[in-house]
Structure 1
Amino acid sequence: MNESNIITLFVVQIVSICSAIRTNEGAYTKIGSKYYYIEMEKKLMWSTALEKCQILGGHLAHLESEKELAAISEHLDQGKWYWVDITDVKSEGEYVSSTTNRQASFFRWMDGDPNNKNNNEHCVHLIYYKSKFFMNDLACDSTISYICEMD
């Protein structure tokens, strides 16, 4: 392959990558000060949702306040559950953001949670209960909807 062909191939790949990034950005909606992609149809396990968000140029949603949760809640289907970026899979009871690799700082737990039911609930999701969304621990291999966030 000569130098001209290599340069042409390189340019084609760059254009393709830029096009894919633009497409992914188009899937995100600005809610408050952040951009989110809310997947309501495809249900994935937590780890697969994490990978999918990375493919889309983001990460699982990292909620940091009541205000943020309230804003995104307006865009969620009350009948669905949604993965967020919190897990205690490495150490029971120590909830860490997969985005920051630090202890999560914001929680709105449902009454009685987290409870690690059957010693198998290590990933956090949003669930609608008593007219608002709460956080609940759930088995990471459960397949539910998910929320991606792009910085």
Structure 2
Amino acid sequence: MARKVHLRIWNSAAFLKRTWDDGAAYCDRLGGELLVIETSEENEFIYGILKNQTKTWAWLGCSDRSTEGTWLCYAAASDLPFENWATGQPNNANGNDHCLAFHNTDGMWSDSKCDAQLVHTVCETTSIQEDEGVTPSSSATPMACYTLGSDGRLRV
């Protein structure tokens, strides 16, 4: 069964930068959650959108806060369905890196401090809700809707 996913990719340069928890709460207010990338095709698709943005990191919806090295995805508390770690990652630098960040220059992932202030927040929702009082900056790709097939592949 296909599912429709609405992606909101906010470039927060016009607003406040967000921690992982702030990003998760923001997505929740939109009726969604931080994006969980499930396939290499999804990863490449998100990379294609973000690679031309000026800021380099985006929050994704997984962390290993509960148990170091066991990456669980936001809301569903399920295992990480796909991995695209950068070389040497995850490294849990200084014992403080527990949240998943996407790097837009190469599409690879790193573990990051959850309280780091990142510019991009990527949300996925199954319905469209407007965020009252917030207008995306003109340099961002604020929202796009896509259909995912039962195999998890994007239908663009």
TM-score in terms of structure 2 length? 0.71
| Contact 1:62-1:99 at 8 Å conserved across structures | no
Structure 1 counterpart of 2:8, which letter? Y
Larger helix fraction of residues: 1
The separation in 2 between residues aligned to 1:72 and 1:126, in whole angstroms, is: 9
The separation in 2 between residues aligned to 1:146 and 1:91, in whole angstroms, is: 24
Structure 1 residue runs of 4 or more that deviate by more than 4 Å after TM superposition: none
Residues 100 and 81 (structure 1), Cα distance of their counterparts in 2 relative to 1, 3 Å cut: same
**Larger RCO (CA under 8 A, 6+ residues apart):** 2
TM-score in terms of structure 1 length? 0.73
Following superposition, the deviation at residue 34 of structure 1 comes to 2.6
Q: Percent identity?
A: 27
The separation in 2 between residues aligned to 1:126 and 1:117, in whole angstroms, is: 16
Are positions 1:83 and 2:59 aligned together?
yes
1:108 to 73, 84, 87: 84
Please list every run of 5 or more consecutive structure 1 residues that lacks an aligned counterpart in the other structure: 1-32
CA RMSD after TM alignment: 1.3
Alignment size in residue pairs: 117
Query: Which residue number in structure 1 is paired with residue 125 of structure 2?
Result: 150
Residues 125 and 91 (structure 1), Cα distance of their counterparts in 2 relative to 1, 3 Å cut: same
Query: Which residue number in structure 2 is paired with residue 50 of structure 1?
Result: 24
Are positions 1:94 and 2:70 aligned together?
yes
- In our comparison, the structure showing a higher alpha carbon Rg is 1
Following superposition, the deviation at residue 35 of structure 1 comes to 1.4
Structure 1 counterpart of 2:7, which letter? Y
The separation in 2 between residues aligned to 1:67 and 1:97, in whole angstroms, is: 18
The separation in 2 between residues aligned to 1:51 and 1:104, in whole angstroms, is: 20
| Contact 1:122-1:139 at 8 Å conserved across structures | yes
The separation in 2 between residues aligned to 1:119 and 1:79, in whole angstroms, is: 25
1:18-97 equivalent positions in 2, closer than 5 A? 34-41=5-12, 42=15, 43-76=17-50, 77=53, 79-97=55-73
